[in-house]
């Protein structure tokens, strides 16, 4: 017989909530899939970024929850803070997606090759094809990748795990802080594990031949997809 049925129920609840919350929360996976494919990153790099952002995402709420426990802050007050963090994150996600798509469109325009006619004094006329971005894309590629990574990381640090606060408070009030640690650990492992699984499946899926024809538009589509994810969260609360 289970010596502590309440703890078992809470851990099962934490696992279920973590899985469902991550599965329906498109912001937990879509940015990594879209950016990873657009930038042609390896799966290991995409999963490493997903893990880092997922860990930061969970830990930010864990820290807030334990600070609230330490200072005796009411659950509704902590939920209010998490809700406001969520609103900020949604707009950051939309802004990041639109900025990323806009910059991708600018790069595409600069990279388009076009033809000029040149007439020389001796009467020879010839065409010359070129673009206005040659030699300027590659030197800055690494810095843009770093900016993208840090932007996603900061968004996920600010992004709340709304279901985690109530899951922390119940065991803390009823069966002790030690039980809270176990519940938090289960929620965190399931959340991050589900993120990694969905991102891996999505990354492989977008690599199928069906989607190859979209590769030339991948950066623009990635930015629009991320912005759309933010809009969906704002409108439907997913």
DSSP assignment of 206-218 equals HTSGGGGGGGGGH
What are the φ and ψ backbone dihedral angles of 42, each rounded to 5 degrees? -70, 160
Answer yes or no: is 116 within a domain: no
Residue 111 in this model has a pLDDT that exceeds 60: no
Contact call for residues 119 and 135 (beta carbons, < 8 A): no
The C-alpha atoms of residue 71 and residue 208 are separated, in whole angstroms, by: 52
Looking at the structure of the chain, the number of domains it has is 1
What residues does 118 pair with on adjacent strands?
Answer: 126
Answer yes or no: is 31 within a domain: yes
Answer yes or no: is 125 within a domain: no
Answer yes or no: is 79 within a domain: yes
Contact call for residues 165 and 60 (beta carbons, < 8 A): no
Mean local confidence (pLDDT), 186-213: 90
Contact call for residues 225 and 50 (beta carbons, < 8 A): no
Answer yes or no: is 124 within a domain: no
Taking Cα atoms as reference points, which of 156, 162, 163, 161 lies closest to residue 17? Answer: 163
What residues does 125 pair with on adjacent strands?
Answer: 119
The C-alpha atoms of residue 182 and residue 169 are separated, in whole angstroms, by: 12
pTM: 0.79
222 membership: H or E segment, kind and range: helix 218-236
Quote the pLDDT of residue 141: 56
Answer yes or no: is 22 within a domain: yes
User: Residue 159: helix, strand or coil by DSSP?
Assistant: coil
Query: Which stretches does DSSP call E strand in the chain?
Result: 114-119, 125-130
Residue 137 in this model has a pLDDT that exceeds 50: no
For 7-16, 25-34, 137-146, 171-180, which range has the lowest pLDDT when averaged over its residues? 137-146
Cβ partners under 8 Å of residue 182, min gap 6: 7, 11, 171
**Pair type for strands 125-130 and 114-119:** antiparallel
The C-alpha atoms of residue 233 and residue 162 are separated, in whole angstroms, by: 13
Taking Cα atoms as reference points, which of 44, 20, 15, 17 lies closest to residue 32? Answer: 44
Most confident of 12-21, 63-72, 122-131, 218-227: 12-21
Range of the domain at 92: 5-111+132-236
Quote the pLDDT of residue 33: 93
Answer yes or no: is 122 within a domain: no
Q: What does pLDDT average to over the chain? A: 80
Quote the pLDDT of residue 135: 47
Answer yes or no: is 126 within a domain: no
Q: What angle do CA 179, 51, 158 make, to 5 degrees?
A: 75
* pLDDT band (50, 70, 90) for residue 122: low
């Amino acid at each position: 017989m289970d010596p502590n049925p309440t703890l078992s129920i809470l851990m099962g609840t934490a696992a279920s909530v973590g899985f469902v919350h991550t599965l329906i929360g498109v912001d937990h996976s879509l940015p990594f899939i879209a950016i990873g494919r657009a930038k042609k990153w390896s799966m290991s790099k995409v999963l490493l970024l997903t893990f880092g952002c997922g860990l930061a995402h969970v830990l930010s709420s864990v820290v807030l929850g334990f600070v609230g426990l330490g200072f005796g802050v009411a659950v509704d007050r902590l939920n209010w803070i998490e809700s406001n963090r969520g609103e900020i994150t949604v707009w950051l996600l939309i802004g990041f997606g639109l900025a990323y798509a806009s910059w991708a469109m600018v790069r595409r325009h600069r990279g388009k090759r076009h033809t000029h006619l040149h007439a020389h004094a001796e009467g020879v006329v010839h065409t010359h094809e070129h673009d206005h971005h040659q030699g300027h894309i590659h030197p800055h590629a690494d810095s843009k990748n770093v900016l993208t990574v840090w932007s996603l990381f900061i968004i996920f640090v600010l992004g709340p795990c709304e279901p985690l606060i109530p899951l922390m408070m119940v065991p803390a009030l009823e069966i002790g802080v030690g039980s809270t640690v176990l519940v938090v650990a289960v929620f965190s492992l399931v959340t991050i594990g589900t993120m990694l699984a969905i991102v891996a499946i999505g990354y492989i899926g977008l690599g199928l031949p069906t989607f190859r024809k979209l590769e030339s538009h991948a950066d623009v589509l990635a930015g629009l997809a991320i912005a759309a994810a933010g809009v969906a969260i704002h409108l439907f609360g997913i």
